Amino acid sequence: MRSDLIKKGLERTPHRALLKGTGVPQSQMDKPFIGVATSFTDLIPGHVGMRDLERFIEKGVHSGGGYAFFFGIPGVCDGMAMGHKGMHYSLPTRELIADMVESVAEAHRLDGLVLLTNCDKITPGMLMAAARLDIPCIVVTAGPMLSGKGQTGRKFSFVSDTFEAMARYKAGVISDKELQVCEDNACPGMGSCQGLFTANTMAILTETMGMSLPRCGTALAVSALKRRIAFASGEKIVELVQNNVTPRSIMTRAAFENAIRVDLALGGSSNTVLHLLAIAHEAGVELPLELFDELGKDTPQLASMNPAGEHFMEDLDIAGGVAGVFKQLGDKIIDTQTLFGLTTHQLAESIQNVDEEVIRPLGNPVKKEGGIAILSGNIAPKGAVVKQSGVSAAMMQFEGTARCFDAEELAMAAIMEGKIKSGDVVVIRYEGPKGGPGMREMLAPTAAIMGMGLGDSVALITDGRFSGGTRGPCIGHISPEAAEGGPIALVVEGDRIRLDIPARRLELLVDDSTLEARRSTWRAPEPKIRGGWLARYAKVVTSAHTGAITSAD
């Protein structure tokens, strides 16, 4: 075992003394040492229930014949970080998390890891570490939140009943009292936000790839089932160590393709493009950006999930969960191995009935194509991403006038002050991985556009990214970004921009000679953040089309 390097032999007498100083009995020294990387924090609803799950994981580890050690991993709540300086830190924490898990596991020669996670950047960071380390690992996602319930029986959700409600209030659509009802009911308790936002999408894709136990991706945070999954995961990691089942044997190219298929079929978050690319990089799997679009044209959207649709995570779980999606996709899902022994096809066969109101059959899809599309054109020569599942039919093709803003706050102020009108294309730039730095999410301006009633007449494009809660014609991840001199930096107020999602095109209607003249006078702006670790991050982070990974090259 890896842990023998800190507990066996004369030379390890000091190491054993330190272990005994933590309370480890001599009788436990021959057992596998299992690290439990926990992102518990009081700051995030999705994580406040983890103390309970930690107990059950620990019970499972010891029941399975291992010895558990807990260590902490930081978490940032994207909702709380949204719309201010804090959002600069969100995506970069993904790299910190991967580095911290790697550091602790390697320094202490842990034999295996249980990765207890839930929210947006924490789950992909944990998976990146698992792929990088390639030691036995299992992921426990803490589960989604129950939908909020109002007196009328209406279901409430975080994004539409807070961010979009803000704009509806500003527009005079709802009253003070109605806004307060939204605020009080949007988040009724522990768990990740109720719809198919980034946290829940990543939990589902983790299960899809075989890195967590069945139903882990959809079982609610408040459920006894989640406790049982936590216990079983603790038991399973010891078995994985004994059999040397490692993440790279599970997270194969086929497993990533399945993850993309499920994401497309459910209409999940566009952030998963960034995260799957980054995880694949750590796993040594080639995963080109174009693959998302190739699979998208062959994968119909089978579910109408909040925020762009009607169903919540609690509905998806009851309807059949991930295995139910496998069953409905049929042979489009590749038969791959999971870390718990069953293959994806065996999981599909284990489901007797699927609620086809929630997860439709291939012959009756919500939409003929998957939820995510990859666009290109003279604004985005290396690609851009749109969550087309959240775009109305009226906005799939659109031409409008550029309204340019060099920071999210400037755009948000213009929207809330009523300066954005029908027919505009809001251009928010210098918000990419380097330029942000940190590639901030644009949930506030996109929600404000929807709340102002402009969702069918205004588009937004950015080299930043969007929350999984975003809906409407919002195109992000534009590469190259403005800070690297990408064409989005050359757009000027009043230019015409054409969006054609069916044709996968995003074009600035300006001739090449004019663009070249603009390029000759363009100069990179001064960095927005000069100190702290974000300044270092900006120097090593790569483009969005590569997953915004950090590279020493």
Cα separation of 276 and 256, whole Å? 7
Residue with tokens 């944990």: 126
Which residues is 438 bridged to in the sheet? none
The alpha helices in 417-460, defined as continuous H runs, are 443-451
In terms of Cβ atoms closer than 10 Å to its own Cβ (0-12, 13-18, 19+), residue 389 is buried
Catalytic residue from among 192, 467, 479, 543: 467
Both structure tokens of 436: 């942000």
Supply the DSSP symbol for 369: S
Nearest to 460 by CA among 485, 159, 470: 470
CB atoms within 10 A of CB 536: 13
Q: What are phi and psi of 433, to 5 degrees?
A: -55, -45
Which residues is 141 bridged to in the sheet? 117
Domains in the chain with CATH codes: 31-146+189-349 (3.40.50.2300), 149-185 (no CATH), 375-546 (3.50.30.80)
The pTM of this model reads 0.94
Residue with tokens 């999971």: 338
Q: For residue 293, what are the CA distances in angstroms to 263, 288, 408?
A: 12, 10, 28
Supply the DSSP symbol for 194: S
The two counts, helices (H) then strands (E), for the chain are: 21, 14
Active site residue 543: no
What tens-digit pLDDT sequence spans the chain (553 residues)?
A: 999 999 999 999 999 999 999 999 999 999 999 999 999 999 999 999 999 999 999 999 999 999 999 999 999 998 899 888 999 999 999 999 999 999 999 999 999 999 999 999 999 999 999 999 999 999 999 999 998 887 667 888 887 788 888 888 888 899 999 889 888 988 999 999 999 999 999 999 999 999 999 999 999 999 999 999 999 999 999 999 999 999 999 999 999 999 999 999 999 989 999 999 999 999 999 999 999 999 999 999 999 998 888 999 999 999 999 999 999 999 999 999 999 999 999 999 999 999 999 999 999 999 999 999 999 999 999 999 999 988 999 999 999 999 999 999 999 999 999 999 999 999 999 999 999 999 998 888 888 898 888 989 999 999 999 877 677 899 999 999 999 999 999 999 999 999 999 999 999 999 999 999 999 999 999 999 999 999 999 999 999 999 999 987 6
